[in-house]
Structure 1
Amino acid sequence: MALPNIFRKDISEEIIQRINNLKPETQPGWGKMNISEMLAHCNVAYEMVYDNKHPKPNFLMKAIMKSFVKKIVTSEIPYKRNSQTAPAFIIKGSRDFKTEKKRLIEYINRTQELGERRFDKKDSHSFGKLDVNEWNNLFYKHLDHHLTQFGV
């Protein structure tokens, strides 16, 4: 079953509505992150696309990521609860709820506005070139997993 298309305006607006239903006091159904850390964690996927703040993996690490992690991240199979998080996605230090929420919404809107064509065969930070379906799964599945984690 195909995942909803995050590049469609109605789907991105649905995700944003779910984000807007979050409150600073929202508690997770599982996991260790608080709400602000989760939002910052979700922002990392977009930072790797738009911002040059995360070091790219070296050749060996990229080969390992492509061989063992890419399918987990880009397939339609949902993430398991409490699954391991990549080091770059581990949030250290406190984060501001409003700031992280605003950033995430801006990233989602920017991605939707750029559209599928901009992402088809675009080189990813860790996995090489991804097709539009892989990009969609990467973005949508991650957001849906964590929004579900926080009950929205």
Structure 2
Amino acid sequence: MENVFDPKDAQNYINRINNLIEDTHGLWGRMMVDQMLAHCSVSYELVYEPEKHKKPGGIAKFILKKFVKPKVVSEKAYSHDSPTSPQFLIKERKDFDAEKKRLIGFIQKTQQLGAEAFDGKESFSFGVLTAKEWNNMFAKHLNHHLSQFGV
């Protein structure tokens, strides 16, 4: 698994994103490339812009921690067409260049803050995570969707 906190690995993600063009088509799924970029940014919005999203209630958070968290923070890759949480659904088209710039900014900010800033940090949905769990969550999600679009 790549390390999103490592400058070389973070730059690799940025290079892959920069290989996308506005009419890149996915190899599976229904999202357009601009929607995919916005979708990938949601993971970071939950960290850096949490006010944009409704926090899960007690029962929902329990279910997320018990059943979803193990799948999200493990190193096992997502399968194609994995289910998506409603807050990650991007239904409308987005500005490709703006979404690309935004996602790259989130990746750079995360790398610069480093693993220490995330170790023991509380997740919006999953409670306290280790730096490794944060890394797995970010890296696995990016890899899944960048692979979906052939980069």
User: TM-score with structure 1 length normalisation?
Assistant: 0.98
Q: Which amino acid in 2 is paired with 1:49?
A: V
The residue aligned with 2:17 is 19
Structure 1 residue runs of 4 or more that deviate by more than 3 Å after TM superposition:
none
Deviation of 1:115 (Å)? 0.3
Q: C-alpha offsets along residues 88-130 of structure 1, whole Å, 9 cap, x if unaligned?
A: 0000212010010000000000000000000001000000000
Is it true that 1:38 corresponds to 2:54 in the alignment?
A: no
Listed as ranges, the gaps of 5+ residues in structure 1 are none
Which whole-Å CA distance do the structure 2 matches of 1:130 and 1:20 have between them?
30
SS at match of 2:128: strand
What's the CA shift string for 1:69-103, capped at 9, x where partnerless?
Answer: 00111000000001111100000212010010000
Aligned-CA RMSD value: 0.5
Aligned to 1:108: 107
State the 1:4 CA deviation: 1.2
- Opposite residue 117 of structure 2, the aligned amino acid is R
Deviations 1:7-61 (A, max 9, x none): 0000000000000000001000000000000000000000000002011101110
Matched with 1:58 is 57
Partner of 1:98: 97
> Residue type matched to 1:144 in 2?
N
- Match in the other structure for 1:124: 123
State the TM-score, normalized to the length of structure 2: 0.98
